[in-house]
Every structure is written in C-alpha cells, then in structure tokens.
Amino acid sequence: MYSTVTTAPVKKTKRLRSTLLEDPSTLEKPWVTTKDPYARLAYFITVGIAFLGIAGSAVRCYFGYKSVPMINGNLCMVLDEEFNTDTNTVLGAGGNWFREIELGGFGNGEFEMTTDSTNNSYVQNGYLYITPTLTSDMIGSDNLYNGYTYNLTDCTYNITNPSALPSTSTTATSNDTTFDAAAYYASCGAVSNSTLGTIINPVQSARLSTRNSASIRYGRVEVSAKLPRGDWLWPAIWMLPVNNTYGAWPLSGEIDIMESRGNPASYPDQGVNYVRGSLNWGPLSFLNAVFKTFGWWTQRRSDYAQGFHTYVLEWTPEFLRIYVDSRLHYMLQLSFNEPFFTRGDFPTVVQNGTQDIVLQNPWVNGTNATPFDQPFYLILDLAVGGTNGWFPDNAGGKPWLDGSNTAMRDFALAQDTWYSTWGSVEDRSLVVDYVKMWQLC
C-alpha cells in the first residue's frame, strides 16, 4: 500500500522595514499635530487634587496646632537641679532632696525598704543614681528569713505622715486614739519569722522628694532620666499634694509623670519599652478612678533603659498634659472641662464590706481642676515588686501572688531568677540627669 504526503504551501510574510532606518522627518506623529483633548483636563485635575491635598493638610496642621492647649502666663523657676555637686550637698541637710526612709511598702505592698545609704542614692559624674541593692548583703541570708529584728532608727514616717502621730509626742501610748501604732511600727521595723512566713524586706533602695524644698500649684516639671532594666523594678517620677487639702489619698490626688517596669519588652503587661502617665483620684480610699485618666507611650525599636528621655508635666487651671520628649508623644492630655466627681461617673451607693455608703461629692466647693488645684511636690523613687496590681498575677513568670500572706517571702525565694536580670549598677539604676520645676506666676 502506498500513501501520499502533501505539503502545505509556505506562506510568505511581508518583512517590515525598521523605522530606525527611515528619515525621522518623514515619520507620521499624530500626537504632535493633534492633541488629546483630555490630556490637559487630566493634568489640571491631577494638579488641582494635589494642591487641595497640600492645602487641606496645611489647614489641618494649623488648626491642630491651635487646638493644643499651651501654658499662658509667666513661669518662675522654683527648682533647677543639675547634680553637679557632691552627694552630701544634694542629699544632705540643706539640699533639695529629702530621703524618705521606711519599709512598710508605702501603701502598695512594695518589697524594698528605702534608706539614706549612699549605696542606694548618690551623685556621681553629674548624675543622680537611685540603685537597688540586696538586704542580704548587709545582714546575711539567714537573718533575712528567720529570727532577726530590723529597726530603722532614722525612719521618717513621723515626718511623712504627721496626721497619724500624737499631737504632742511621737511615742506610742495605749490610750492615744490618734496614733496608729501598727502603721508606725510596720513602716519602721520588721521581724523575720519562718513559721509566720514574714521576712525582712529583701531589697534596699531609695525614695527622694522635694517636700521640704520645692512645690508648685500649676506650672511645669521637666526630668531627664534613664530608666533601670531588671525584672520587677518599678521606677517612678510623680507628685503628691503638700497639705492633702481635700483629705487622705486619693481624695487630694496624685500626679504620676512617669511610671514603668524594668521587665523586658517581651513582658506581656508593658515592660521597659513603655512609660505611663496618670492621675490618681477618688472620693474614698478604695475608690480610685485612675482608669479614667491614664495613658502610655512606647518605643517600638528600643526601650527607655537605653538612654535618657525627658519626662514633662504641663499643668494649668484649664488643662494638664504629661508627655515624653515631645508634645506629640503625650501619655495624658486632659482638659478640665468638667468636675472630677462628674468625670468619675461614680455609683450613688457603694459598699465597704457589709456597710452601704451613700457617695457624696467631696470636692463640691472646688473647681473643675479640684483636687488638682493645690501645691504638689515631686518624688523620684525606684520601688521593687508590690501587691497592688502594678505587676499582674500570673504574668511574665511573676513569682508571687498579690493576695498571698507570704508574697514578699515568695519574691525573695526567687532571687536567683530576678536578680540575674538586673545586671550592672548602671543598668539597674534610675539615673537622673536634671530636674527642673517652674511655678505659673
């Protein structure tokens, strides 16, 4: 069998001549002779929209700038501390800073005792250092846990809490109803007992204030500081009222310019890469409305222990602002546009244990700024741990529970874990470059 194969004819294609070989003057260019009628319209629309965007941004920036409240009036400096002299001049008698010496936890269940030792607060190379140290280095580990009585002979509780003392004497008596002997002795002494689970405060640190040298009622505070790094360290720059005009805390308020935690950035409840500012206030000791007036700022690629930052309070009868480094980085900006009792949205009746209390406005005769309309003084301190919730339970490997009767002991027993994160003296210290305070005058 034979078969035939047919071949399809090859189609001849016309080879096009490259225009590169032709005389450019002979080429047709319709886009030159005939303009697209929409091109000009598109151009003007694009330029117009760009112009409107720029103009709108400028208007927004202008009104944004105008809306930022500023201090109107003169500022008179009341404190300018550069720490350029020696420790005795800055922290000794006649200096700007008063060392508060206690071991009762300052109402927060803190685990440190504050001392007047130059191990814990000192001036060096133009900086103020607040440095935590181990109590066991002073009295030994065995005494920390059992059979030792530690008394602060220079305790300042009688100075910082004068209303809790007898009017004519600082000695406790059984028939003196104005003297809170339990609070006094709890703030000035401790006994370690392994059976009861009580120990001597395992850390020594410092708390410095300007209560005897400088205070302001409206004005500006500026502090340049480098924060400490280390688990459960609690640095703070804050203010308390001079006279507690409206009653004991929190009736007379508290201004927290900066609080932080020394825990690393991986800590789930805001570590050393966060700083917070807040106001504490409320009509009763157990009714603090701080959750209504707080905020924070964060460093996304670094933290506040890597260098110095400036923490600022601006405060007038009309507003209060707390920020770090720039007004753009404000943690709290609050207009005094309503009374604080209204701002708190408190219930009509509250319960204290089994007792019902009809809640009344304690600032009814004040202004919208009350209780923040009285002189406040400044505090610099480095606390450690505590049982008030600043370090939430079961977060970040916390070795104690706030509600435990042995919280401080549990913290101390975990020393190998947390002390290894504190690093060098420089790393674990709150280091302050300068402090400036101005009064609105």
Residue 427 lies in a domain: yes
Task: Tell me which residue range forms the domain holding 402.
Answer: 73-440
pLDDT tens track for 107-143: 999 999 999 999 999 999 999 999 999 999 999 999 9
Q: How many helices (H) and strands (E) does the chain have?
A: 11, 23
Cα separation, 275 vs 290, whole angstroms: 15
Q: Where are the beta strands (DSSP E) in 27-85?
A: 75-81
The C-alpha angle 401, 136, 260, rounded to 5 degrees, equals 50
User: What does the pLDDT read at residue 313?
Assistant: 98
Active site (annotated) includes residue 110? no
SS3 134: strand
62 is a domain residue = no
Q: Residue 35: inside a domain, yes or no?
A: no
Place of tokens 């994160």: 421
For residue 91, being part of any structural domain is answered with yes
The catalytic position among 102, 110, 112, 254 is: 254
Tell me the whole-structure pTM to 2 decimals: 0.85
User: Is the distance from CB of 119 to CB of 371 less than 8 angstroms?
Assistant: no
- 313 domain-assigned: yes
The dihedral built from the CA positions of residue 418, 421, 423 and 425, taken in this order, carries a sign that is negative
CA dist., res. 263 & res. 257, Å (int): 19
The DSSP element (H or E) to which 311 belongs, if any, is: strand 309-315
Collapse the DSSP code of 149 into the 3-class scheme (helix H, G, I; strand E, B; otherwise coil) and give the result. strand
Task: Give me the catalytic one of 81, 110, 259, 314.
Answer: 259
59: its two tokens? 């208007």
3-state secondary structure (DSSP) of residue 52: helix
Q: Please confirm whether the linkage preceding 371 is cis (ω < 30° from 0).
A: yes
CATH of the domain at 255: 2.60.120.200
Q: Is residue 157 part of a domain?
A: yes
pLDDT tens, residue order, the chain (441 aa): 445 555 555 555 566 555 555 666 666 666 566 667 777 788 888 888 988 888 887 777 666 665 688 899 999 999 999 999 999 999 999 999 999 999 999 999 999 999 999 999 999 999 999 999 999 999 999 999 999 999 998 999 989 987 655 544 434 343 444 557 788 889 999 999 999 999 999 999 999 999 999 999 999 999 999 999 999 999 999 999 999 999 999 999 999 999 999 999 999 999 999 999 999 999 998 999 999 999 999 998 999 999 999 999 999 999 999 999 999 999 999 999 999 999 999 999 998 888 899 999 999 999 999 999 999 999 999 999 999 999 999 999 999 999 999 999 999 999 999 999 999 999 999 999 999 999 999
Catalytic-residue membership of 82: no
Domain count, the chain: 1
- Residue closest to 325 by CA, chosen among 305, 306, 311, 314: 311
Q: If we measure between CA atoms, which residue out of 170, 142, 143 comes closest to residue 155? A: 170
Q: Look at strands 203-205 and 112-114 and give their pairing.
A: parallel
Residue 103 lies in a domain: yes
Ramachandran bin of 324, using left for φ above 0, alpha for ψ from -120 to 50, beta for the remaining angles: beta
- Sequence-distant (6+) residues with CB within 8 A of 428 are 131, 132, 228, 229, 230, 233, 262, 422
pLDDT, one tens digit per residue, over 407-428 is 999 999 999 999 999 999 999 9
Residue 136 placed within a domain: yes
**Closest to 200 measured CA to CA, from 138, 116, 262, 118:** 138
Contacts 24+ apart (CB under 8 A), 413-418: 415/134, 415/202, 417/231, 418/230, 418/231, 418/232
